[in-house]
Structure 1
Amino acid sequence: MQSPPVPTFPESVPPAAAPLVGGYRLGALIGRGSIGDVHVATEPVTGQQVAIKLLRPVSDASDDERSLARQRFLAEAETARLLNHPDIVRVLAAGDDHGRAWMAMELLGGCDLERYTRPARLLPEPVVLRLTERLACALAFAHSRGVVHRDVKPANVLVDWSSGRVTLTDFGIARAAGAESTRTGIVLGTPVYMAPEQLAGGLADVRGDLYAFGVLLFQLLTGRLPHESHSLGDLLRQVANEPAPDLRQLRPDLPAALADLVAQLLDKSPARRPRDAQAVADALAQVAAALRVPPAQSGPMSRG
Structure 2
Amino acid sequence: MHAPLAEHFGDYRLQRVLGEGASAIVYLAQDRRNQGWVALKVLAPHSGGHGPARDATRELFLKEAATARTLQHPDIVAVLDAGETEGRLWLAMEAVPGTSLQRYAKAQRLLPLPLVARIAERIARALAHAHGHGIVHRDLKPANVMVDWPSDTLKLADLGLARRDDAAPTATGLMLGTPAYMAPEQLAGNPPTPATDLYALGALLYQLVAGRLPHEAPTMGELLRQVAREPVLDLRLLKPGTPPALAALIGRLLAKRPQDRPASAATAADELAAIQPLLSNAPTR
- The two structures have a TM-score, normalised by structure 2, of 0.92
Q: Is residue 210–residue 265 contact of structure 1 (8 Å, CA) maintained in 2?
A: yes
Q: Give the total of aligned pairs.
A: 279
Counterpart in the other structure of 1:100: 88
Counterpart in the other structure of 1:85: 73
Correspondence 1:217 to 2:188: no
Greater relative contact order: 1 or 2 (C-alpha under 8 angstroms, separation 6 or more)? 1
Provide the C-alpha distance between the structure 1 equivalents of 2:48 and 2:105, rounded to a whole number of angstroms: 33
AA in 1 matched with 2:205 = L
AA in 2 matched with 1:159 = V
Counterpart in the other structure of 1:19: 8
Deviates more, 1:158-167 or 1:59-68: 59-68
Counterpart in the other structure of 1:206: 194
Counterpart in the other structure of 1:180: 168
Q: Deviation above 6 Å: which 4+ runs of structure 1?
A: none
Displacement of 1:61? 3.4
Provide the C-alpha distance between the structure 1 equivalents of 2:22 and 2:173, rounded to a whole number of angstroms: 13
Identity level (%): 50
SS of match in other structure, 1:218: helix
Deviates more, 1:223-232 or 1:284-293: 284-293
Aligned counterparts, 1:1-304, within 5 A:
18-21=7-10, 23-32=11-20, 35-57=23-45, 61-184=49-172, 186-292=174-280
Displacement of 1:71? 1.9
- The two structures have a TM-score, normalised by structure 1, of 0.86
Displacement of 1:124? 0.5
Q: Is residue 151–residue 173 contact of structure 1 (8 Å, CA) maintained in 2?
A: no
Displacement of 1:196? 0.5
RMSD of aligned C-alpha atoms?
2.1
Q: Is residue 45–residue 87 contact of structure 2 (8 Å, CA) maintained in 1?
A: no
Give structure 2 stretches of 5+ with no counterpart.
none
Per-residue CA deviation, residues 122-159 of structure 1 (Å, 9 max, x unaligned), is: 00001101111111110111111111000000000000
Provide the C-alpha distance between the structure 1 equivalents of 2:142 and 2:87, rounded to a whole number of angstroms: 31
Displacement of 1:67? 2.6
Displacement of 1:60? 8.7
Provide the C-alpha distance between the structure 2 equivalents of 1:198 and 1:45, rounded to a whole number of angstroms: 41
